[in-house]
Structure 1
């Protein structure tokens, strides 16, 4: 795989950025939108690219892997070219670059809304809204917005994030736009580092809290991790769910296969994978995306466990 955009394509992108900023608004307006959120199999497979907006650049042992924008865009273009990939989840800058590259025609596009809790910052749990808002998502003709909701019972900042996410759910629903909430329970270990809680009780609690945000849940979807007890966790809601792919592991095949049991839960409608498929250990983006697509297809065909 060529790990960067071809020279001519990259030069054209830089030229539009500097000489024709209005091209972005034109691209938003001209984009061919998908006819519906779910594909013909009733599922949704998105690639996630909002990590750099929160300063989370590391993956696979490389602390600056996602800092190379030309390389990131090349990987996204490869992933989006797979026929089973239905779209992308990203921050405005990435979405706009993919639009200018013509990579989002007919794709589902979900705008990332709150990226203020910078990775590694002392205020990292303060997940303020710094990206798209409901009004801009509607104006840009996107299909919905995604918000991160990290929950730490010992961090009072969680309350403000809950309130802001509730408001965003309400505002998106008023426009009949998808509100994708990612509720993740955390605690700090003895060193003060944030650790994701993966036990069924914590995940169930986070899911039920997120389900109740806003004045209506009619347009709310949940983005949750695969887990050891998906039958218990995913029985906590009737809302549509997508499974997040997480950080790339050394054993790609084992990691992708591990999603299968969760993907077969009745409320699960798809998969959102970022670094797992964009930065696999063997650097074969196309093969990793295809492996994830096959697992999603197999889970759909198999039905609930």
Structure 2
């Protein structure tokens, strides 16, 4: 589950505002029995690791609350925002701590110092506050810039005072956390100076770098996001969290209402499933994905308010449920965080140069390694297979995303292949002879470094046979056995061969017919040699951008029927076809075992993992995958982690949720595998 290590808190003064949903808690005037009972309810809920409270006027009640909080051992956050927003008796100017009037600013600071004293008394670790009203920019930016200067002065004084109080008590200084709000003067809005994320970041950078207050940071509230307008005058999006990340002390989960006709219009914090909620499930999920992506480890507070006859406990439970649904989503759990796979960190120039030297100085090393490789006694150990495909460059296919030659970088390519072969549940590799030879030479080097087993020992090695169907050439469908024949398979001690049969019913159909003949002969030769053969029959059509696979069940069904009749017998034949809609119809086209392919790199493994999960459930003869680019080039992700997730689905029958959780946990494992051998 995503964000499970982040402490979750509840903004108590919002969720439990007072008896009958009055606002006595926010005013600091709640009766003892209500305040203590509702706090106990939150503190006794194992879901929450913290609670967010505000000013309490009564000394005796506050002392009881302090004892209760201390006994709970849970995280305490003090929110001074209600004190500032209510502004009892209207004694402080709207500008609050950013007020241009020096007397008003000092009064506002003094009020917050009193709140700070109470925050320490209650054992708080964070202190939340707001900037004060935005003076606007109707007559230029001078007033706003002056207000920011005053705000910096005030925040500096508060940070200093927090440090002095901490020193007296012999404890760590409380964190001063400024919350970001909208700048709208419409009803239901807060119209605060801070403000857009970019300006908040500028201020936080000054506070930390110029003033040296490392205990200063920011609070970003999801419910404010649709209301805060950046310099483009558009509402902010979760992307702002990337900019805020270095200064983010805390986040809130809540919602607002952006429909002016709604009675709760504005920054009202209704329950997340309120019909007029501006924060949708997708927006919540995107927000959580971004928190995972930036590696956020701080606290997450729920800020929701019951209205009318709504029960506080029911609103809290619904928030927990909706939040858990979002953070349990596969796309949220998949998020990479700060990780990105660096192939050269795993397999570097030192090893690449050793391979080159080995090819020159010991030309017989390949044959020796092939003969010494420990082969499996059976093709499959549980009736299923996960094979890594690595034969694309031989057919002039090197593009990944926008990079036309990504797979042409052989050091990166080899590193990615080896990375997948280290994955648990991977049965072997299907590759062209040059790749197989390089993997065998890596095994020679590994054994010289003291390893008893190479990466190919106990794995299947499948040789890719026909590779003359070069992408983009005129006679691409004429796909001859230019990579390996059966004799070559035997020389490299391979466990089987793989053939590609693309059928173009158009103007170049005669070349597809010729390729059928090459494949038929190869199937027959493999059978005579006792080698299994993996046939990849694909229906294709010519387009202005080149040949494309026809991804319809009818086309695949027709093509499978052609492939299974090749070469005199389908004995020891496996079929390799992509997953498509109505796959249950496709798999009924043959009794032969089927492996699913991944296709062109999507640069995000989730769609491929989902397809494989669905495909494995569509028929008993779906026996695994033979996948290349979507594992080797899975965006920024780790090929080892991705292939292990796929292997869990194939070999263990795992669901996608379990597989993705494993993927996230496996990222970066054995990253220094080669380095430790040097």
Fold shared per TM-score above 0.5: yes
Residue 536 of structure 2 corresponds to residue 182 of structure 1: yes
Matched, 1:31 2:373: yes
How far 1:298 sits from its partner (Å)?
4.8
Is 1:117 matched with 2:469?
yes
1:17 aligns with 2:359: yes
C-alpha displacement of 1:12 = 1.7
**d(CA) in 2 for partners of 1:282 and 1:8?**
23
The equivalent residue for 1:240 is 593
Deviation at 1:250, TM superposition (A): 4.3
Among candidates 13, 23, 42, match of residue 383 of structure 2: 42
* Stretches of structure 1 lacking an aligned partner (at least 5 in a row): none
2:459 corresponds in structure 1 to: 107
Q: Which residue of 1 aligns with 2:621?
A: 267
Of stretches 7-16 and 100-109 in structure 1, the one that deviates more from structure 2 is 7-16
Paired position in structure 2 for 1:169: 523
Residue 7 of structure 1: aligned partner = 349
- CA drift at 1:138: 2.1
CA–CA separation in structure 2 for the residues paired with 1:30 and 1:297: 28
Say if 2:603 and 2:630, in contact at 8 Å, map to a contact too.
no
Is 2:605 the counterpart of 1:257? no
Give the CA RMSD over aligned residues.
Answer: 1.7
Greater fraction of residues in helix: 2
Shift in CA distance, 128/300, structure 1 to aligned 2, threshold 3 Å: farther
Secondary structure of 1:33's aligned partner? coil
Distance 2:393 2:603 in 1: 22
User: Do structure 1's residue 127 and structure 2's residue 468 form an aligned pair?
Assistant: no
Secondary structure of the structure 2 residue equivalent to 1:101:
helix
Is the 1:261–1:299 contact (alpha carbons within 8 Å) kept by the matching residues of 2?
A: no
Give distance in 2, aligned partners of 1:246 and 1:49: 12
Q: In 2, distance between residues paired with 1:245 and 1:222?
A: 14
Between stretches 143-152 and 292-301, larger displacement belongs to 292-301
Distance 1:179 1:152 in 2: 22
Q: Which residue of 1 aligns with 2:418?
A: 77
Are the aligned partners of 1:60 and 1:279 in contact in 2 as well (CA < 8 Å)?
A: no
Deviation of 1:139 after TM superposition, in Å, equals 2.9
- How far has the Cα of 1:193 moved from its partner? 3.0
- What do residues 155-209 of structure 1 show as CA deviations (whole Å, max 9, x unaligned)? 21011100110000000001111111100001123x3732211111110010010
Q: Secondary structure at the match of 2:343?
A: coil
| Structure 2 Cα separation of the partners of residues 290 and 140 of structure 1 | 27
Instruction: Please say if residues 257 and 295 of structure 1, whose CA atoms lie closer than 8 Å, have aligned partners that are also in contact.
Output: no
1:230 to 1:160, Cα distance in 2 relative to 1, 3 A: same
Q: Distance in 2 between matches of 1:255 and 1:161?
A: 29
Match of 1:153 in 2: 505
Deviations 1:276-303 (A, max 9, x none): 00001123212211221222235489xx
Aligned-residue offset at 1:79: 0.3
Q: TM-score, normalised by structure 1?
A: 0.94
| Separation (CA, whole Å) in 2 of partners of 1:258 and 1:52 | 25
Give the TM-score taking structure 2 as reference length: 0.43
Higher RCO (CA-CA < 8 Å; seq separation 6+): 1
Alpha-carbon spacing, 1:179–1:300, altered in 2? closer, same or farther (3 Å) = farther
How big is the shift at 1:49?
0.5
Match 1:96 to one of 419, 426, 437: 437
Say which is worse superposed, 21-30 or 132-141, in terms of deviation.
Answer: 132-141
Q: Matched residue of 1:149: which SS?
A: strand
Gaps of 5+ in 2: 1-340, 444-454, 656-678
